[in-house]
Amino acid sequence: MTNDKDIGIPLKTTAPKMKVLNQFIKDLSFENIAAQNGISDQNVKPDIKVSIGLEGKKRPVEDQYDLIIKVSISSKTGGSGEVIFLLELEYGGIFEITNIDSEQLQPYLLVECPRIMFPYLRRIISDITSDGGYPPLNLEQIDFLSMYQAGVERKAIKSSKIN
């Protein structure tokens, strides 16, 4: 009879555990420039640009982390390039993350946490644009894993350059 320790099989593995402690709007700005300038042509096909950034950091409390999703949206008229509206939103979350190796923490914080927060952020943006007098802007799903991997690759390229 053999013991699990003798053949190198771990007796018990624990998966990372995450608990959402809070979600909140940290900062919000919606500038309805078209309405301010009296532009009311509803037939304009807008050119919408969306920029997303992530910022994660450790909180002073054990196993707690902040994540801020920064969204910047600009809508301009397709022809003349006049600004229709500008929306900037910083949406925050506080998470308790346990049972995770230190090397897995950053990818977990920057992939899994925004994945949980995104549906709420999307609803806020939809409501704001609708309340601003425009059709609701429903953001497409974002692949946070690809975003994280692209960021890691950019850092690797920057650090490999010779000055």
Between CA 41 and CA 34 the distance in angstroms is: 9
Q: What is the pLDDT of residues 51-83, one digit of tens each?
A: 999 999 999 999 999 999 999 999 998 777 889
Q: How confident is the model at residue 1 (pLDDT cuts 50, 70, 90)?
A: very low
Q: What is the pLDDT of residues 104-163, one digit of tens each?
A: 999 999 999 999 999 999 999 999 999 998 999 999 999 999 999 998 888 777 666 544
Residue-number span of the structural domain to which 113 is assigned? 17-137
Say if CB 64 and CB 94 are below 8 A apart.
Answer: yes
Kindly state whether residue 129 falls inside one of the protein's structural domains: yes
* 26: pLDDT strictly greater than 70: yes
Question: CATH number, domain at 117?
Answer: 3.10.420.10
Cβ burial of 125 (10 Å; 0-12, 13-18, 19+) is buried
Q: How far, in whole angstroms, is CA 124 from its chain's centroid?
A: 13
Say if CB 111 and CB 145 are below 8 A apart.
Answer: yes
Kindly state whether residue 155 falls inside one of the protein's structural domains: no
| Structural domains in the chain (count) | 1
More confidently predicted of 18 and 159 = 18
